C-alpha cells in the first residue's frame, strides 16, 4: 500500500461518512415514524376493543338498545337483598339508581336506598367470592350486560364504602348505621 | 395541649417556608450572602417545625387523645399499639402531614449535603423545594387539618375545628373513646404499614432532582452540575418508589384475596406513571453526562417526573377516578389540580425560555443507529410510549370522554393486556442489546459478536423450559426475550470479573467486589436489570399459567388441583385475636405426589367494632420458589361448619416477583457504593473523593 492510496481512501471515507450520516438521519426518521405508528395503532385498536360505557342504572333500564351491550354501571347496594350461594359462588342482589347530583357520595347512597321511587335493578354475578365490602349502602361498580329478563349479569364487581377514608361526626356514627 | 403545639408548629412552618422562598430568591438576585443564608436557615427551621407537628400527631395517636378528630377517626382503644404508629398515614389529613414531613426531611438533606458542593444552584433549589412545601402546608392548615378537635356548640351540634368556636365545649373523653372508629381493617397489615411510607419517600424524593433542574434553569448554570447534584437523590427516590410499588403488590396479594398483585387499577397506575418517567430520566441523564446530548429532553423528563408525582397524588386523593383504593372525594381536589397545572406550566415555560436563548444546545449529534446513545433514545421512546399508553387507559380516555363526548367510558384490564406486553417485550429486548453497544458508534457485526454467548445461553434456557413441558408459544417467546436480558447482565458481570482475575490476579470474590467498587453505577445497573428480569419471569409465569379452582369440601374430604391434593382437616370458629377481631379459621393440608407438604389456614376475620367495613378474607398460602398454593375460605355452613367452600389458586413462579424486587433493591444500593479514595499516583478529580450522596454515584 502506498501513501497515495491511503490519502485517496481518506477522502472517500469522509464522503462515505457524510453520506452514511445523511443515510442514518433518514433511518432515524423512518424508524421513529414506524415505531410511533405502531404504538398509535396499538392504543387505537385496544381502545376500540375494550371501551366500556359508564352509565347510570336509569340510563341502562330506560333504553331498550342497551340490552346485551357490555356497560359499566354504579348503584347503591340494598343490604337485605343480598343472596350469596357459597357452594356455587353466585351472588344475587339489588341496587338502586344513584342520583349523583348531591355531591357527597355518602348522602347520595343513603338517599338512593331510602328512596322508594328510585329505579332498582337486580344484579347477578357468577363465580365470584362475596366481597367483604358488599353490604348495605355500599356503592357497587359493575361491568356486565342487561339480559332480556331485566337482570344485570355482571362479570366484574367493585365496591366502595363512602366512609372508608372519610370522616363522619361522632354523634352520627350511630344514627348513620342501619 | 398536644394539638395546640402541632397546630402552632404547622402555622409557623408555613410562615418560615414563605420567608425562605423570598429571602433565597431576593438574596441571590442581589448577591447578598447574608440574606441567602437566612433563607437557608428558614428552610431548615421549616423542617424542624414540621417535625414537631408530626411528632405531636404521633404522640396524640399513642396517648389516644380522641378529642383530636383525626385520632378519633383512625384509632380506637382496642387497637394494638403497633398500628397506633402506622395510623399516622391511615387517612387523608395524617398522610398529608406525613407526606409534607418526608418532603422537608429530603429538603433539609439536600441543603445540608449539597450546599457547599453546588452553591450556585442551592438558593433557587431551596426556593423551589419550599414552594412545594408551602402548598402542602397550606393544604394541611386550611383544608385537611390533622389537629382539628371535636367541639359541642351551644346548640348541641358537634363540629371539628382547629380553634375553639365561641361558647363550645369539649365532648367527654369516655364518650369519644366509645365511638372512635379504628383503623380500616385493610390497613392492618405489615405491608400496608410500610407500603405508604416507601411510596411517599419515592414520590417526594423526585422533588430534589426537579428542584435542581429548575434551579439550573433559573440560575443559568446549565452545565451538568444539576445532574451531578441530583443523581444520588434521583436514585434514592427511584429505589423507594420501586419498593413502594412492589410492597403495594405484595399487600394486595396477601390481603385483597383475588390471587393477583397488579390489577391495572387507576390508582396503581397513578403510582406507576412517575416510575416510568423517572426510569426514563435515570437512563437519559447518562447521555448528557457522557456526551453532552439531550439537554432539553432531560430537563423535560425531570419536570415530567415530578409533574406526574403531583398528578398521581391529585388523582389518588381527589376522588377523580373510581378505584379500590382512592381516598374519599375531598375538598383538596381543585387546589391540587391547580397546583399541578401551574407548577408544570411554569417549569415548561422556564425551560422553553432558556432553550430559546440557545443555552441548551447539544455538544454532539446522533450519527449511528446502533450507538449506545441512539439505543438510549429508543429506551426513552419506549418508556414514554408506556407512559402514554398507561395514562390514556387510566385517565386520558375516561376524562376526555367525559369532557368532550359527554359520555363516561372506561378501559378495563383488557386494554392494558393488549397494549403493554408489546412495549414491555421491546424494553426487555433493548435491555438485552443496549448494554453491549458502544458510545458514538457500533457496527452491527460487532454488536452481534458480543451477543453470541448470551444468545447461546438464552437458547439453552428456552430449550430447558420446553423440556419442562412448556408448550405455549407466547410463553416461549416471552421467556426467550426476558432471559436474553438476564444473560447479558450476568455475562457482562462475569466478563468483568474474569478480566480482573487475569489482570490483577485476584480471587473471584475480591475481583467481583473490586469490579463493583470501580464502577458501581454500571454493575449496580446490571444487577438492577437482572432483578427486573427475575420479576419478568415471575410475572409471565403467574399471568400465563395461573390455575384456579373452587369446591365445597366436607371435613376429611379432598380435592385435586393440578398435581396437588388439598384435604380439609378442621374448622376453628370464633377465635378471638389480640386486637379484638374474631377469626374463623379452616385448616387444610396440601399434599403433593402423596406426601403432605404443608398446612394452610385460610380464614375470615370479623371486626365487631367497625361499622363500615368489618370482614376480611385472609388467604392461606404455601409458598415455594416453584409456585404459590393460595387458598381462600369463601364460605361455610354456619352451624356445623362441616362443609366449607374454598377457592384455590396455583400461581407459578409468583415468588420470583418478590425475589426480583429484592435483587433490584440490592442493585440500586450497589450503585451507591462509594468510590474508593484514589491514590495520588492515579488521576484524581476532587469530585471522585466525595461519597455517593454528594454526587459521584
Express each pLDDT in A41-53 by its tens digit. Answer: 989 888 888 888 8
Question: What is the nearest CA distance from B294 to chain A, expressed in angstroms?
Answer: 15
Question: What is the nearest CA distance from B658 to chain A, expressed in angstroms?
Answer: 26
In a domain, A176, yes or no: no
Residues in chain B within 8 Å Cβ distance of A101: none
| Together in a domain, A82 and A69 | yes
- Residue B246: which of B274, B218, B268, B229 has the closest Cα? B268
In a domain, B179, yes or no: yes
Task: State yes or no: pLDDT of A2 exceeds 50.
Answer: no
| Together in a domain, A9 and A91 | no
| B255-276 residue pLDDT tens | 777 778 898 888 889 999 999 9
| Together in a domain, B504 and B554 | no
Residues in chain A within 8 Å Cβ distance of B324: 158, 160
Give residue B447's pLDDT. 84
| Together in a domain, A72 and A151 | yes
pTM of full prediction above 0.95:
no
Residues in chain B within 8 Å Cβ distance of A174: 179
* Neighbour tally for B353: CB within 10 Å: 11
Coil, helix or strand at residue B163 = coil
Residues in chain A within 8 Å Cβ distance of B91: 165, 167
Q: pLDDT higher for B16 or B618?
A: B16
| Together in a domain, B49 and B62 | yes
Measure CA B457 to chain center. Answer: 33
Task: State yes or no: pLDDT of B635 exceeds 80.
Answer: no
Q: Given A51, A160, A167, which is nearest B411 (Cβ)?
A: A51
The answer to whether the Cβ–Cβ distance between A27 and B369 falls below 8 Å is yes
Indicate the average pLDDT of chain A: 76
Q: Which of residues 53-82 of A touch B (CB under 8 A)?
A: 53-55, 72, 74
Q: pLDDT higher for B502 or B188?
A: B502
Q: Is A45 on the interface with B (CB under 8 A)?
A: yes
Give residue B675's pLDDT. 62
Least reliable range by pLDDT among A114-118, B574-578, B688-692: B688-692
Domain stops at, among A50, A69, A91: A50
Q: Which three cell numbers stand for residue A111?
A: 338517599
Q: If you average pLDDT over residues B363-379, what whole number do you get?
A: 82
| B387-439 residue pLDDT tens | 999 999 988 888 888 788 777 788 878 899 999 999 999 999 999 988 888 77
* Neighbour tally for B221: CB within 10 Å: 16
Question: Residue holding cell 339508581?
Answer: A97
Residues in chain A within 8 Å Cβ distance of B412: 50, 52, 143, 156
pLDDT band, residue B573 (cuts 50/70/90) = confident
Task: State yes or no: pLDDT of B245 exceeds 70.
Answer: yes
Question: What is the nearest CA distance from B377 to chain A, expressed in angstroms?
Answer: 10
DSSP assignment of chain A: --HHHHHHHHHHHHHHHHHHHHHHHHHHHHHHHHHHHHHHHHHHHHHHHHEEEEEEHHHHHH-GGGBT-EEEEEEEE-GGG-EEETTTTEEEEEEEE--GGGS-HHHHHHHHHH-TTS-EEEEEEES-PPPTT--TTPEEEEEEEE-TTSEEEEEEEEEE-TTSSS---HHHHHHH--
Task: Count how many pairs of residues, chain A against chain B, have C-beta atoms within 8 Å.
Answer: 145
| Together in a domain, A110 and A161 | yes
Distance between CA atoms of residues B431 and A171, nearest Å = 59
Give residue A123's pLDDT. 94
In a domain, B170, yes or no: yes
Task: State yes or no: pLDDT of B474 exceeds 70.
Answer: yes
Give B211: exposed, middle or buried? Use CB within 10 Å, 0-12, 13-18, 19+. Answer: buried
Residues in chain B within 8 Å Cβ distance of A27: 369
The answer to whether the Cβ–Cβ distance between B552 and A86 falls below 8 Å is yes
Q: Which three cell numbers stand for residue B644?
A: 366449607
- Residue B298: which of B281, B275, B276 has the closest Cα? B281
Task: State yes or no: pLDDT of A120 exceeds 60.
Answer: yes
Indicate the average pLDDT of chain B: 86
Give residue B685's pLDDT. 41
Q: pLDDT higher for B196 or B697?
A: B196
Q: Pick the residue from chain A with its C-alpha nearest to B393.
A: A47
Distance between CA atoms of residues A35 and B378, nearest Å = 10
Q: If you average pLDDT over residues A16-36, what whole number do you get?
A: 73
| B502-542 residue pLDDT tens | 988 888 889 988 888 888 888 999 999 999 999 999 999 99
Give residue A170's pLDDT. 34
Give residue B412's pLDDT. 79
pLDDT band, residue B562 (cuts 50/70/90) = confident
Task: State yes or no: pLDDT of B484 exceeds 90.
Answer: yes
Q: Is A43 on the interface with B (CB under 8 A)?
A: yes
Question: What is the nearest CA distance from A52 to chain B, expressed in angstroms?
Answer: 5
pLDDT band, residue A177 (cuts 50/70/90) = very low
Give residue A116's pLDDT. 85
Domain stops at, among A9, A28, A50: A50
Q: Given B329, B366, B410, which is nearest A72 (Cβ)?
A: B410
| Together in a domain, B167 and B179 | yes
| Together in a domain, A79 and A149 | yes
pLDDT band, residue A168 (cuts 50/70/90) = very low
**To the nearest whole percent, how much of chain B has pLDDT over 70?**
93
Residues in chain A within 8 Å Cβ distance of B409: 51-54
Close Cβ partners of B597 (under 8 Å, ≥ 6 residues apart): B590, B591, B622
| Together in a domain, A142 and A79 | yes
Q: Residues B525, B528, B530, B533: is their CA dihedral positive or negative?
A: negative
Question: What is the nearest CA distance from B504 to chain A, expressed in angstroms?
Answer: 39
Task: State yes or no: pLDDT of B215 exceeds 90.
Answer: yes
pLDDT band, residue B684 (cuts 50/70/90) = very low
Interface test mutation site (partner A, options B175, B369, B410, max chain A beta carbons within 10 A): B410
Q: pLDDT higher for B279 or A161?
A: B279
Give residue B693's pLDDT. 41
| Together in a domain, A116 and A139 | yes
Domain that holds residue A35: 1-50
Phi-psi region of A115 (alpha: psi -120 to 50; beta: other; left: phi over 0): beta
In a domain, B375, yes or no: no
Give residue B15's pLDDT. 97
Give residue B677's pLDDT. 52
Question: What is the nearest CA distance from A155 to chain B, expressed in angstroms?
Answer: 12
Q: If you average pLDDT over residues B150-167, what whole number do you get?
A: 86
Interface test mutation site (partner A, options B612, B615, B632, B637, max chain A beta carbons within 10 A): B612
Domain stops at, among B169, B188, B207: B188
The answer to whether the Cβ–Cβ distance between B415 and A50 falls below 8 Å is yes
Question: What is the nearest CA distance from A6 to chain B, expressed in angstroms?
Answer: 22
The answer to whether the Cβ–Cβ distance between B366 and A28 falls below 8 Å is yes
Q: pLDDT higher for A162 or B135?
A: B135
Look up the CATH number of the domain holding residue A148: 2.40.50.140
pLDDT band, residue A108 (cuts 50/70/90) = confident
In a domain, A70, yes or no: yes
Q: Pick the residue from chain B with its C-alpha nearest to A159.
A: B324
Q: Which three cell numbers stand for residue B186?
A: 385493610
Identify the helix (H) or strand (E) that includes residue B392. Answer: none
Highest mean pLDDT among A26-30, B17-21, B249-253: B17-21
Q: pLDDT higher for B410 or B622?
A: B622
The answer to whether the Cβ–Cβ distance between A163 and B328 falls below 8 Å is yes
Residues in chain A within 8 Å Cβ distance of B92: 165-166
In a domain, A127, yes or no: yes
| Together in a domain, A41 and A128 | no
- Residue A174: which of B178, B170, B327 has the closest Cα? B178
Number of domain units in chain B = 3
| Together in a domain, A5 and A66 | no
Beta-bridge mates of residue A90: A85, A126
Residues in chain B within 8 Å Cβ distance of A162: 328
Give residue B610's pLDDT. 63
| B218-242 residue pLDDT tens | 998 888 889 988 888 999 999 999 9
Number of domain units in chain A = 2
Distance between CA atoms of residues B499 and B505, nearest Å = 9
Coil, helix or strand at residue B195 = helix
Give residue B216's pLDDT. 94
Question: What is the nearest CA distance from A177 to chain B, expressed in angstroms?
Answer: 7
Q: Is A119 on the interface with B (CB under 8 A)?
A: no
What ipTM was estimated for this complex?
Answer: 0.74
Q: Given B184, B369, B398, which is nearest A24 (Cβ)?
A: B369
Domain that holds residue B451: 443-544+657-694
Interface test mutation site (partner B, options A164, A168, A174, A177, max chain B beta carbons within 10 A): A164
Q: Is A13 on the interface with B (CB under 8 A)?
A: no
In a domain, B561, yes or no: yes
Give residue B382's pLDDT. 94
| Together in a domain, A60 and A41 | no
Q: pLDDT higher for A97 or A109?
A: A97
| Together in a domain, A46 and A75 | no
Distance between CA atoms of residues B70 and B541, nearest Å = 43
Task: State yes or no: pLDDT of B36 exceeds 80.
Answer: yes
Amino acid at each position: 500500500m502506498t501513501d497515495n492510496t491511503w490519502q485517496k481512501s481518506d477522502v472517500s471515507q469522509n464522503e462515505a461518512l457524510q453520506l452514511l450520516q445523511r443515510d442514518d438521519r433518514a433511518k432515524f426518521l423512518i424508524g421513529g415514524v414506524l415505531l410511533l405508528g405502531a404504538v398509535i395503532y396499538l392504543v387505537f385498536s385496544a381502545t376500540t376493543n375494550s371501551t366500556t360505557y359508564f352509565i347510570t342504572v336509569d340510563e341502562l333500564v330506560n333504553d331498550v338498545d342497551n340490552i346485551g351491550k357490555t356497560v359499566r354501571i354504579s348503584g347503591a347496594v340494598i343490604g337485605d337483598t343480598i343472596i350469596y350461594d357459597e357452594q356455587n359462588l353466585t351472588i344475587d342482589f339489588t341496587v338502586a339508581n344513584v342520583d349523583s347530583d348531591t355531591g357527597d357520595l355518602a348522602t347520595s347512597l343513603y338517599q338512593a336506598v331510602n328512596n322508594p321511587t328510585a329505579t332498582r335493578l337486580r344484579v347477578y354475578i357468577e363465580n365470584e367470592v362475596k366481597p367483604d365490602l358488599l353490604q348495605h349502602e355500599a356503592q357497587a361498580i359493575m361491568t356486565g350486560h342487561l339480559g332480556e329478563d331485566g337482570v344485570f349479569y355482571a362479570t366484574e364487581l367493585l365496591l366502595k364504602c363512602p366512609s372508608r377514608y372519610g370522616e363522619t361526626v361522632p354523634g352520627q356514627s350511630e344514627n348513620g348505621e342501619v | 395541649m398536644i394539638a395546640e403545639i402541632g397546630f402552632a408548629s404547622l402555622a409557623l412552618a408555613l410562615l418560615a417556608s414563605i420567608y425562605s422562598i423570598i429571602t433565597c430568591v431576593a438574596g441571590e438576585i442581589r448577591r447578598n450572602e447574608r440574606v441567602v443564608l437566612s433563607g437557608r436557615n428558614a428552610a431548615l427551621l421549616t423542617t424542624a417545625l414540621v417535625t414537631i407537628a408530626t411528632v405531636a400527631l404521633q404522640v396524640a395517636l399513642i396517648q389516644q387523645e380522641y378529642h383530636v378528630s383525626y385520632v378519633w377517626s383512625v384509632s380506637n382503644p382496642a387497637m394494638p399499639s403497633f398500628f397506633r404508629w402506622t395510623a399516622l398515614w391511615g387517612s387523608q389529613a395524617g398522610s398529608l402531614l406525613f407526606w409534607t414531613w418526608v418532603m422537608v426531611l429530603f429538603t433539609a438533606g439536600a441543603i445540608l449535603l449539597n450546599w457547599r458542593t453546588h452553591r450556585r444552584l442551592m438558593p433557587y433549589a431551596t426556593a423551589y423545594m419550599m414552594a412545594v412545601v408551602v402548598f402542602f402546608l397550606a393544604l394541611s392548615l386550611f383544608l385537611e387539618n390533622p389537629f382539628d378537635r371535636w367541639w359541642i356548640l351551644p346548640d348541641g351540634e358537634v363540629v371539628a375545628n382547629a380553634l375553639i368556636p365561641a361558647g363550645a365545649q369539649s365532648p367527654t373523653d369516655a364518650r369519644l373513646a366509645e365511638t372512635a372508629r379504628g383503623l380500616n381493617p385493610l390497613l392492618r397489615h405489615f405491608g400496608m404499614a410500610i407500603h405508604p411510607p416507601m411510596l411517599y419517600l419515592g414520590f417526594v424524593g423526585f422533588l430534589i432532582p426537579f428542584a435542581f433542574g429548575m434551579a439550573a434553569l433559573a440560575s443559568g448554570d446549565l452545565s451538568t452540575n444539576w445532574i451531578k447534584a441530583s443523581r444520588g437523590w434521583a436514585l434514592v427516590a427511584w429505589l423507594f418508589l420501586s419498593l413502594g410499588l412492589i410492597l403495594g403488590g405484595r399487600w394486595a396479594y396477601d390481603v385483597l384475596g383475588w390471587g393477583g398483585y397488579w390489577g391495572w387499577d387507576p390508582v396503581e397506575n397513578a403510582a406507576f406513571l412517575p416510575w416510568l418517567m423517572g426510569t426514563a430520566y435515570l437512563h437519559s441523564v447518562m447521555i448528557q453526562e457522557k456526551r453532552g446530548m439531550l439537554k432539553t429532553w432531560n430537563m423535560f423528563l425531570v419536570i415530567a417526573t415530578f409533574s406526574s408525582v403531583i398528578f398521581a397524588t391529585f388523582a389518588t386523593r381527589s376522588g377523580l377516578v373510581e378505584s379500590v383504593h382512592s381516598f374519599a372525594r375531598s375538598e383538596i381536589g381543585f387546589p391540587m389540580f391547580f397546583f399541578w397545572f401551574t407548577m408544570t406550566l411554569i417549569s415548561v415555560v422556564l425551560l422553553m425560555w432558556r432553550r430559546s436563548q440557545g443555552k441548551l444546545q447539544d455538544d454532539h449529534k446522533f450519527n449511528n443507529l446502533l450507538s449506545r446513545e441512539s439505543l438510549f433514545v429508543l429506551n426513552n421512546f419506549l418508556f414514554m410510549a408506556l407512559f402514554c399508553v398507561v395514562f390514556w387507559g387510566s385517565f386520558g380516555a375516561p376524562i376526555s370522554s367525559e369532557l368532550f363526548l359527554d359520555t363516561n367510558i372506561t378501559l378495563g384490564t383488557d386494554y392494558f393486556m393488549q397494549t403493554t406486553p408489546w412495549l414491555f417485550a421491546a424494553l426487555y429486548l433493548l435491555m438485552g442489546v443496549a448494554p453491549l453497544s458502544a458510545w458514538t458508534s457500533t457496527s452491527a457485526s460487532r454488536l452481534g459478536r458480543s451477543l453470541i454467548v448470551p444468545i447461546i445461553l438464552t437458547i439453552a434456557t428456552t430449550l430447558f423450559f420446553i423440556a419442562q413441558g412448556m408448550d405455549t408459544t407466547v410463553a416461549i417467546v416471552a421467556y426467550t426475550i426476558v432471559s436474553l436480558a438476564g444473560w447479558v447482565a450476568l455475562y457482562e458481570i462475569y466478563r468483568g470479573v474474569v478480566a480482573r482475575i487475569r489482570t490483577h490476579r485476584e480471587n473471584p470474590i475480591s475481583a467481583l467486589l473490586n469490579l463493583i467498587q470501580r464502577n458501581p453505577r454500571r454493575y449496580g445497573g446490571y444487577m438492577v436489570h437482572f432483578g427486573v428480569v427475575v420479576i419478568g419471569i415471575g410475572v409471565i409465569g403467574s399471568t400465563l399459567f395461573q390455575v384456579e379452582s373452587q369446591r365445597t369440601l366436607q371435613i376429611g374430604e379432598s380435592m385435586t388441583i393440578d398435581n396437588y391434593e388439598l384435604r380439609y382437616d378442621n374448622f376453628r370458629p370464633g377465635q378471638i385475636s389480640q386486637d379484638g377481631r374474631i377469626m374463623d379459621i379452616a385448616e387444610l393440608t396440601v399434599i403433593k405426589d402423596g406426601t403432605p407438604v404443608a398446612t394452610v389456614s385460610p380464614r375470615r376475620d370479623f371486626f365487631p367494632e367497625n361499622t363500615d367495613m368489618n370482614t376480611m378474607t385472609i388467604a392461606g398460602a404455601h409458598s415455594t420458589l416453584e409456585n404459590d398454593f393460595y387458598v381462600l375460605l369463601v364460605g361455610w355452613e354456619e352451624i356445623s361448619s362441616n362443609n366449607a367452600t374454598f377457592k384455590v389458586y396455583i400461581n407459578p413462579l409468583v415468588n420470583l416477583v418478590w425475589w426480583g424486587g429484592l435483587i433490584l433493591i440490592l442493585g440500586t444500593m450497589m450503585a451507591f457504593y462509594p468510590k474508593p479514595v484514589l491514590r495520588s499516583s492515579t488521576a484524581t478529580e476532587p469530585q471522585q473523593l466525595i461519597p455517593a450522596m454528594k454526587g459521584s454515584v
